[in-house]
C-alpha cells in the first residue's frame, strides 16, 4: 500500500473505510464514536503517520489553533487540575495548548509573548495576576485573553476563578460558630487580589458577628509555607496570640501547623488552623486540614470556554465568572482552648 509522505485526513478515512467526518469525530470527540470504529481510525493514523496535533493544523490552515498558557509556577498544586480543565475544553474544540512557565521572572513572561507576535498562539490564559511586564513593546495588541486563578490587577480582561470572598466567609463563620473570637488572618496582601478578597471575606464574617478585627492579628504573607511558619514566630514574639489561624491558602496553613508543632502545641486542642484551596497535601496532614476546596477542573473548563467565545467575537456578559467553593471540614478545628 502506497502512503503519501505527508498524510492527510483523506488518507486516514480511505484506509479506515470511514468518512472524513467520522475520522474528525474519532479524533476530537471520541466518546461519540463506536469503539470498533475508533480503533480502525487509530490504526489508520498509525499506518499513515497522520499528524493530528493542533500546531500542525495551524501551519496548514495559516492560522493558529494554539492557546498560550502563562503561569508563574507550574509546580503550584492548583495548576495541574486547572490545566486539565483548560486542555480538555481546548481539545474538544480543536485547539492545543502551549505552556509558558515564567518562574516568576518578568523577562521570561515577555519572551513567551513572541508566540503571539509570530501568530503561533491565538489566545492567552494568564495565571500570573498581572499582564506581562512590557507587553506593549512586544505586541501592539494582546489577543483575546482570560485571567484564571488570580484576577488580573488593572488588566481589564475577563477572569474566571473561585469566589474567594464567599469561601473566606464560610471559614470565618465556621470558626465563629466554634466559639473563636480571636482569629489571626495570615497572608494579607496588597498586591494579590485573590488574597485581599479572602481578607475581605474574613472581615465581613467578623463584622457580621459583632467581633473586632484586631490589627495585631493580621499578618502579611506571600502564600508560602515559610510565611506561615514565620507568622507563628511573629505572634509569639509579640505575645499576642489568637485561638485560631485563618490562612490565605493551604501552604500557609501547613507552615503555621509546622510552627505550632515545633513549639510543642497540639492542633486543634491548643490552636485551630484553616486553609484555602484544598491541595492534595491538606488531607494527609496530621491532623487533616480544614479548608476551602476550589473547583479547579471546572475553573479551567469555564476559562477556556470563555476564551473560545472571545475568539469567536462573543463578549462576556460579566467581567468575572466566580465559581462557588466548598467548605471541607476535617480535624484541624475545635473550640478555643480555655487557657488562652
pLDDT of residue 274: 98
Three state DSSP letters for the chain: CCCCCCCCHHHHHHHHCCCHHHHHHHHHCHHHCCHHHHHHHHHHHHHHCCCCCHHHHHHHHCCCCEEEEEECCCCCCCHHHHHHHHHHHHHHCCCEEEEEECCCCHHHHHHHCHHHHCCCCCEEEECCCCCCCCHHHHCCCCCCEEEECCCCCCCCCCEEEECHHHHHHHHHHHHHHCCCCCEEEEEECCCCHHHHHHHHHHHHHHHHCCCCCCHHHEEECCCCHHHHHHHHHHHHHHCCCCCEEEECCHHHHHHHHHHHHHCCCCCCCCCEEECCECCHHHHHCCCCCEEEECCHHHHHHHHHHHHHHHHCCCCCCCCEEEECCEEECCCCCCCCCCCC
- Separation CA 156–CA 246 (nearest Å): 30
Q: What string of pLDDT tens digits covers the 340 residues of the chain?
A: 444 445 677 788 889 898 877 877 776 666 677 878 877 877 777 677 665 554 455 544 455 788 989 988 888 889 889 999 999 999 898 888 888 888 877 677 667 776 666 667 788 999 988 876 655 554 456 788 999 998 887 768 999 999 999 999 999 999 999 999 999 999 988 788 899 999 999 999 999 999 999 999 999 988 999 999 999 999 999 888 999 999 999 999 999 999 999 999 999 999 999 999 999 999 999 999 999 999 999 999 999 999 999 999 998 989 999 999 999 999 999 999 865 4
pLDDT of residue 59: 44
CATH class entry, domain 164-294: alpha beta
pTM of the model: 0.78
pLDDT of residue 32: 74
Nearest residue to 298 (alpha-carbon basis) of 329, 318, 324? 324
pLDDT of residue 320: 94
- Whether residue 333 contacts residue 269, with contact meaning beta carbons closer than 8 Å, is answered with no
CATH fold label, 65-162+296-323: Rossmann fold (3.40.50)
Angle at which helix 164-177 crosses helix 193-208, to 10 degrees, equals 40
pLDDT of residue 134: 58
Domain with CATH 3.40.50.2300 in the chain: 65-162+296-323, 164-294
Amino acid at each position: 500500500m502506497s502512503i503519501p509522505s505527508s498524510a492527510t485526513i483523506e488518507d486516514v478515512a480511505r484506509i479506515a473505510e470511514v468518512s472524513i467526518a467520522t475520522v474528525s469525530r474519532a479524533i476530537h470527540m471520541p466518546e461519540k464514536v463506536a469503539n470498533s470504529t475508533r480503533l480502525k481510525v487509530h490504526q489508520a493514523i498509525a499506518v499513515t503517520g497522520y499528524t493530528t496535533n493542533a500546531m500542525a493544523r495551524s501551519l496548514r490552515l495559516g492560522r493558529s489553533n494554539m492557546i498560550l498558557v502563562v503561569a508563574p509556577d507550574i509546580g503550584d498544586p492548583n495548576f495541574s487540575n486547572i490545566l486539565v480543565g483548560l486542555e480538555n475544553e481546548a481539545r474538544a474544540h480543536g485547539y492545543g495548548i502551549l505552556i509558558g512557565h515564567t518562574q516568576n521572572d518578568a523577562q521570561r513572561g515577555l519572551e513567551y509573548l513572541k508566540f503571539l507576535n509570530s501568530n503561533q498562539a491565538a489566545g492567552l490564559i494568564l495565571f500570573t495576576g498581572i499582564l506581562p511586564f512590557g507587553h506593549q513593546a512586544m505586541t501592539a495588541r494582546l489577543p483575546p485573553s482570560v485571567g484564571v486563578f488570580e484576577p488580573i490587577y488593572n488588566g481589564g480582561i475577563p477572569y474566571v476563578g473561585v469566589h474567594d470572598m464567599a469561601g473566606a466567609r464560610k471559614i470565618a463563620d465556621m470558626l465563629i460558630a466554634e466559639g473563636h473570637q480571636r482569629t489571626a488572618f495570615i497572608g494579607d496582601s496588597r498586591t494579590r487580589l485573590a488574597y485581599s478578597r479572602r481578607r475581605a471575606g474574613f472581615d465581613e464574617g467578623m463584622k457580621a458577628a459583632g467581633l473586632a478585627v484586631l490589627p495585631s492579628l493580621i499578618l502579611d504573607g506571600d502564600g508560602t509555607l515559610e510565611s506561615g511558619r514565620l507568622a507563628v514566630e511573629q505572634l509569639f514574639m509579640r505575645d499576642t496570640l489568637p485561638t485560631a489561624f485563618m490562612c490565605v491558602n493551604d501552604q500557609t496553613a501547613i507552615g503555621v501547623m509546622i510552627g505550632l508543632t515545633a513549639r510543642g502545641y497540639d492542633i486543634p486542642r491548643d490552636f485551630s488552623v484553616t486553609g484555602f484551596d484544598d491541595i492534595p497535601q491538606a488531607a494527609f496532614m496530621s491532623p487533616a486540614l480544614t479548608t476551602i476546596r476550589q473547583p479547579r477542573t471546572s475553573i479551567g473548563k469555564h476559562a477556556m470556554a470563555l476564551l473560545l467565545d472571545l475568539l469567536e467575537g462573543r463578549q462576556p456578559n460579566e467581567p468575572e465568572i466566580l465559581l462557588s467553593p466548598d467548605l471541607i471540614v476535617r480535624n484541624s478545628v475545635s473550640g478555643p482552648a480555655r487557657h488562652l
